[in-house]
Structure 1
Amino acid sequence: MDDRVTDMTKFFRRRSTLHLPITLSACLIALNVTLMVCWIIVLARGAQWTALTVGVLAFTLALAGMIVWLVLTIKEIRLNNRQANFVDSVTHELKSPIAALQLYLQTLRMRNLDAERREEFHATMEAELHRLDQLINQLLEVGRLDAIGQNEMPEDVDIPRLIAECADGAALHHQVRVADTFEFDLAPVAVHTQQIVVRMILSNLLDNAVKYGGEPPKVHVSLQLNGTRARLRITNNGASVPFDDRKKIFRIFYRGGNELQRTRKGTGLGLYIVHTLVRRLKGWIHVTDRLDGKPGCTFEADIPDARPLTPAAETAPSPPRAPAEVRR
């Protein structure tokens, strides 16, 4: 199986470059313009206005066709490169936890470890299984985004409670403590929609904030109610997102750079899922630099159909400012 995965990875790593299509298109466009100018000069001297008009229209259509071909080719190459990066990242993300689990199981089988050491191994194996489960769920979710939540009735979703639960999951995934990583400023807000949709938005945003945070990661989560809209801000202490990438990061497979040279783990699916589901709720999301000027970035999402959280809408007691800690 490893050989098949490796062969598939090598096949998809044949990334195309933009140099050839851009150079070829520039030459064809220049040739087309030159021929059109010569055509106009020759026919204008002979006062052949009908032929001149037809020729100019033909050359214009040819020029427009070349430009459209160039744009479509560039888009296709960029999509191909993003798909190649995606295959590389998924291959790595699938093989890494499996290899780690095999190593820990072999160690547990071959050595007589003390209870503390065995507990440490079990915790690490649990985290690797959680990581693998999260990746598989993410891959499945992308294929059924349009159908997610369609079989559920809308309800008043307790946003602070979901934030606490998703923060626990992100902390477990990245082996950090919730109390050391997260700060919360959460107003009691509910959104009338399907719970699974909001859970997927929050889990992907919080996981992304921890993943791309500093060393150690620090994440501040605020939730406010503005009229009938919920305003969510998630700020971390990592690197800021370059201005040119602030829209691209919400595209499917997009992670920026070359997957073979990247150190951060991921598939380029999380923010695409977030963007798609937020838009489905008729909201918006964008990323900016931190307002305090410190290193990091802020993801800000605005979701409609929000209201104050009432006791009848709560399915659990309101969470404290910091959720329960996650074991290392």
Structure 2
Amino acid sequence: MSTRRNLRWPISLGVSMIVLLVALTVGWIVLAVFGLLEDGKRAPIYVTFLSVGTTFLVLVLVGTILYLALSVKAINLTRRQSNFIDSVTHELKSPIASLKLYLQTLVRRSVSDEQRENFYGLMLDDVERLDHLINHLLDAGRVDREPTERDHVPIELADLLRSAARAVCLRYRLSDETIRMKLQPCQVTGSRVDLDMAFRNLLDNAIKYAGSPPEVHLDLRLTANGSAEVHIRDNGTGIPRHLRRKIFGRFVRLGSELQREKPGTGLGLYIVRQIVSRMKGKVQIVDGDQLGGAEFLVTLPGAVAVST
């Protein structure tokens, strides 16, 4: 509700200014034309005033429209940054509070060996969660820097995808069969670290927003024009069509942080887009008809087939 109020005033003010400027421009033109018709001797003066005045009014109108657009964009960016801060704060506080509780229990109470081992496992989960969040934030800062030429190496994409899928299943303690793979062997050139990061983010996103039980399909095929196409499908609720481009922006998460159940920072898909774009590729959300959820399509140029 506060976001709507924040947007309402600049939009209302901007629209009012635009209407007034349009009315002023029309009035200026009408008066100048009537003056020109009534006093033909001063025609050059009226034409000059008409041209100069109309030009200035149009420039002011364009400036007002640009100011309105930039104001709305700035407010939206502030909202996304606020959501990002709320998200990161929650992601940091939750495991820290959990660790504190387990440590206090171990220090102040006598627990059995079985309970102690269980606490150790839960504490390790919290540490891994913190480590994942910190690495995610570091990745977002690193992805804006161009890789060096030595980072560009031949990559067997099928092997990289299998490794990323296993890592994501291990993180969520899921069976490897959760991600069903159909991979055609092919090779691309790029940064292995960056590409692994991109596909781990996509697969992590698919598992996180999949249905219950989660089901993800991972397909790789080589096209006739020498591009590698990677399809990642899940059985979740999908992403509305009007939000499919917006979702790749920095700090963008759908809804309010206070109403979300899924953890995240709004940086994962931004990282994916930056990496894929740097490889002259394309990532998009397409209409999926197999599982009913979201389907991401990553297209990477310069792929070649490899023998198995």
TM-score of the superposed pair, with normalisation by structure 1: 0.83
3-state SS in 2 of match to 1:18: helix
1:149 Cα deviation from its structure 2 partner: 4.1
Q: Distance in 2 between matches of 1:128 and 1:219?
A: 25
Aligned residues: 295
TM-score of the superposed pair, with normalisation by structure 2: 0.88
Equivalence for 1:290: 288
Matches within 5 A, 1:173-188: 173-174=171-172, 176-188=173-185
Q: Distance in 1 between matches of 2:166 and 2:117?
A: 20
Equivalence for 1:38: 27
Equivalence for 1:112: 111
1:155 Cα deviation from its structure 2 partner: 2.4
Q: Distance in 2 between matches of 1:62 and 1:209?
A: 47
Q: Distance in 1 between matches of 2:276 and 2:178?
A: 25
Matches within 5 A, 1:18-29: 18-29=7-18
Equivalence for 2:230: 232
Structure 1 residues 295 and 130: CA distance shift in structure 2, 3 A: same
- Find out whether 1:199 has 2:196 as its counterpart: yes
Higher relative contact order (CA 8 A, sep 6+): 1
Q: Distance in 1 between matches of 2:70 and 2:179?
A: 43
Equivalence for 1:166: 164
3-state SS in 2 of match to 1:46: helix
Equivalence for 1:213: 210
3-state SS in 1 of match to 2:6: coil
- Find out whether 1:144 has 2:156 as its counterpart: no
Equivalence for 1:92: 90
Q: Deviations over 1:71-116 (max 9, x none)?
A: 111111111111111111011111112222222333344342343x
Equivalence for 1:251: 249
Structure with a larger share of its residues in helix: 2
Equivalence for 2:48: 50
Q: Which amino acid aligns with 2:194?
A: V
Identity over aligned pairs, percent = 41
Equivalence for 1:10: none
Matches within 5 A, 1:270-289: 270-289=268-287
Q: CA RMSD in A?
A: 2.1
1:119 Cα deviation from its structure 2 partner: 4.1
Structure 1 residues 126 and 220: CA distance shift in structure 2, 3 A: farther
Higher mean displacement: 32-41 or 67-76: 32-41
1:222 Cα deviation from its structure 2 partner: 1.0
1:226 Cα deviation from its structure 2 partner: 2.0
Q: Distance in 2 between matches of 1:216 and 1:273?
A: 27
Residues 22 and 70 in structure 1, CA contact (< 8 A), matched pair in contact too: yes
Residues 241 and 289 in structure 1, CA contact (< 8 A), matched pair in contact too: no
Residues 149 and 196 in structure 1, CA contact (< 8 A), matched pair in contact too: no
Q: Which has the larger radius of gyration?
A: 2
1:143 Cα deviation from its structure 2 partner: 1.5
Residues 166 and 176 in structure 2, CA contact (< 8 A), matched pair in contact too: no
Please list every run of at least 4 consecutive aligned residues from structure 1 whose deviation after the TM superposition is greater than 4 angstroms.
none
Q: Deviations over 1:53-86 (max 9, x none)?
A: 2211111111111111111111111111111111
Q: Which amino acid aligns with 2:90?
A: H
For structure 1, the 5+ residue unaligned runs are 1-13, 312-328
1:308 Cα deviation from its structure 2 partner: 2.8
- Find out whether 1:261 has 2:250 as its counterpart: no
For structure 2, the 5+ residue unaligned runs are 37-45
Equivalence for 1:83: 81
Q: Which amino acid aligns with 1:27?
A: S
